[in-house]
Structure 1
Amino acid sequence: MTEPRRRRAATEEKVARVLDAAEEIMLREGHAAVTSRNVAERIGIGAPLLHYYFPTVDDLVVALLRRRSGRVVERMEAALASSRPLQAWWDLASDPRGTALFIEFLAAANHRPALKAEMGEVAREVRRTQMAVLDKILPEYDLDPEEFPPALIAATMQGLALGLVADEVAGYETAHKQARAAMSRLVARLEQRRAHRRPR
C-alpha cells in the first residue's frame, strides 16, 4: 500500500465526499462494489482525480476504516464513561449500520492484507479500552471478575451484537429479535442493580 499523500485543507471536503460515497456503496452493495469507478461515478468525478487522493482501492478502504474506527473509539469511550455504561455499550455495539459496516470490513479484510492489519490494531485498541473499564466497574454490577472476567463480558457483548446484526442484515430468521430483546432486558436489569448498589 502506498503512503497517503498530504492534503491541503481545501481538499478535505472532496476527500470526505469520496469516503462518504465509499461507505454508502459498502453498506448497500457490499465491499466488493467499492471500486474506483463506482466511487468516482457516485460523486461525479473522474477516476484519475480519485486516484490522486487514494492511489489504490486499498488506500481508500483503509482510510474509510480509519475514519469509521476513530468515531467508534470515541463513541465507545463515551459509552463506557456514561452513567449506564453497559446499556450505552450495548446500544452502540448493536447499532445496525455500524455493525453492518464492520461485517463488510471483515469480509474485505480476507482479501486485503493492509486492511486486515489495520483492523487488528483497531480491535486491540477497542478491547483494551473495554477491558480496562470493565475491570473497574464489574463489582458495581455485583459481578465477580473471577467468574465473569472482563474478556468474557467484552467478547459476549461484541460477539452477540455482531451475530444478531449479521442475521438481521442477511434476512435470516434465527430468532434474533427474541435474542436482542432478552439481551436488552438483561442489560437493563444489570443497570438497575448497579444503580441500587451505588451510593447516592
Structure 2
Amino acid sequence: MAEPRRRRAATAEKLTRLLDATEEIILRQGYAAVSSRAVAARVAINAPLVHYYFPTIDDLFVAVLKRRAEQTLERMAAALASAQPLRGWWELVSDPRGTALTVELIAAANHRPALRGEVGKVAYEVRRMQVETLSSILGEYGLDADEFPPVLIAATMQGLAFAVVADSVAGYDTAPEEAAAAMSRLVARLEERRASRRA
C-alpha cells in the first residue's frame, strides 16, 4: 500500500513542477514559447515524459488554465465576500502576475480551440460571480443599477485590469500606472462611501 502512495505523491509533485515551469515560460516569453522541449528543459527531464503526462500541448495549456482558474475563483469569491468587495476585487484583478498569465492564456485560446472552450467556461463563472455580487451591493455604494448596470462595472473593472497589465508587460507608453492609480482612488472613495452609508 505504501508504494502506490509514494508513486502518487511523486506524480503530483512532477505535475506541479511541469505546470509551474509552463507558467514561467508563458510569463517570461509568452505562450508561443511553450513546447514539450522547453518545459522539459526547465524541469530537467526528457521531453517525451512531458507527453506522458500531457499527450498534447493543448492538454498542458488546459491543465495550467484549470489550476489557475481554481485559484482565481477561490480568491474572487473571498474578495467579493470581504468587507471591501470592490477593493478586494480590484487588488485581485490588477495583480500583475496572475493577470499577465490570464492575458496570455486568452491570447493562446484565440489559436487553440480546446483551450478556447475552457477559457469561456472560466470567464462565464467569474463574470457570474461578479454580477451576482454587484446586483446585491450596488445600492450600498450609492450607485443606480439602471445607470451603472452590474455587467458594465464588471467589464470595466476586468477590462481595465487586463489593459493595464498587458500594456505594462509589453512596455507600452500608455500610462498604465496612472490608470491603475486612478482606479485605486475611485475604488477607495466608493468603499469610503459604502462604509459611511452603512454606519
Same fold, judged at TM 0.5 (above): yes
Q: Distance in 2 between matches of 1:100 and 1:166?
A: 6
Provide the residue aligned with 1:119 in structure 2.
119
Provide the residue aligned with 1:140 in structure 2.
140
Provide the residue aligned with 1:169 in structure 2.
169
Q: Distance in 2 between matches of 1:129 and 1:9?
A: 34
The one-letter code sitting in structure 2 at the alignment partner of 1:157 is M
Provide the residue aligned with 1:3 in structure 2.
none
Provide the residue aligned with 1:13 in structure 2.
13
The Cα of 1:110 is off from its aligned counterpart by 1.4
Q: How big is each residue's C-alpha offset from its partner over 1:156-193, in whole Å with a ceiling of 9 and x where there is no partner?
A: 00001111111111111112222111111100000000
Aligned pairs for 1:1-200 within 5 A = 8-199=8-199
Q: How big is each residue's C-alpha offset from its partner over 1:113-161, in whole Å with a ceiling of 9 and x where there is no partner?
A: 0000100000000000110000011111011111111000100000011
- The worse-fitting range, judged by mean Cα deviation, of 59-68 and 166-175 is 166-175
The Cα of 1:31 is off from its aligned counterpart by 0.3
Secondary structure of 1:191's aligned partner: helix
Q: How big is each residue's C-alpha offset from its partner over 1:13-45, in whole Å with a ceiling of 9 and x where there is no partner?
A: 000000000000000011011100000111011
Provide the residue aligned with 1:4 in structure 2.
none
Structure 1's consecutive aligned runs of 4 or more residues displaced over 3 angstroms after TM superposition are: 7-10
Q: How big is each residue's C-alpha offset from its partner over 1:92-122, in whole Å with a ceiling of 9 and x where there is no partner?
A: 1111111111111111111110000100000
Q: How many residues align?
A: 193
Secondary structure of 1:111's aligned partner: coil
Q: Distance in 2 between matches of 1:101 and 1:184?
A: 22
The Cα of 1:10 is off from its aligned counterpart by 3.4
Ranges in structure 1 where 5+ consecutive residues have no aligned partner = 1-6
Q: Distance in 2 between matches of 1:10 and 1:96?
A: 31
Q: TM-score, normalised by structure 1?
A: 0.94
- The worse-fitting range, judged by mean Cα deviation, of 16-25 and 99-108 is 99-108
Q: Distance in 2 between matches of 1:183 and 1:104?
A: 23
Q: Distance in 1 between matches of 2:106 and 2:53?
A: 24
The Cα of 1:59 is off from its aligned counterpart by 0.4
The one-letter code sitting in structure 2 at the alignment partner of 1:51 is H
Q: Distance in 2 between matches of 1:36 and 1:73?
A: 28
Q: Distance in 2 between matches of 1:180 and 1:8?
A: 43
Q: Distance in 2 between matches of 1:34 and 1:175?
A: 30
Kindly report the root-mean-square deviation, in angstroms, between the aligned alpha carbons of the 2 structures.
1.1
The one-letter code sitting in structure 2 at the alignment partner of 1:136 is S
